[in-house]
Structure 1
Amino acid sequence: MDIKQNKTIEDLMTEAESIARNYFRQGLNCSECVYRTILDLYQPDLSPDTICLASGFGGGMGY
C-alpha cells in the first residue's frame, strides 16, 4: 500500500486493524501481527522473514 495516499488516520487505523486480525486468524501471535501489519503498510520492501524479530514478544515481557 502506498501510505502517501490521502487517507485519514481513522482509515489507516481501520485498515491496520483488519490486516492484524487476519494475521491473528492465521496463527501469528499479537506482536507478530502488529509487526507484520506495520511491514505491510509502511515497509513493503522489507522482508517478511524479519517477523522473527517480534516473535519473542508474543508471551509478554512480564514475570
Structure 2
Amino acid sequence: MSDLTLVAHFNAFTGQLQGGYLMARSTKRKIGATMTPRAVLDYMLAHPNARVEPIKA
C-alpha cells in the first residue's frame, strides 16, 4: 500500500477542480510540485486505486 495521498483542491463556490498535490500520509508533507487540474485528472486515470482527499478552498 502506498503512503501517498492525492490532495485535490476544489473551489467552494463553483465546485471546479483548481489543482492538487501529492502528500505523504505518514508525515503530512507535500511531495513534489503543485499539480494543474489536468495533471490531477491524469494522475487519477493512471492510478485508479489511489487515495484522494478532497479539500474545499
| TM-score w.r.t. length of structure 2 | 0.32
Higher Cα Rg: structure 1 or 2? 1
The structure carrying a bigger helix percent of its residues is 1
The structure carrying a bigger strand percent of its residues is 2
| TM-score w.r.t. length of structure 1 | 0.29
Query: Which gives a bigger RCO, structure 1 or 2 (Cα 8 Å, sep 6+)?
Result: 2
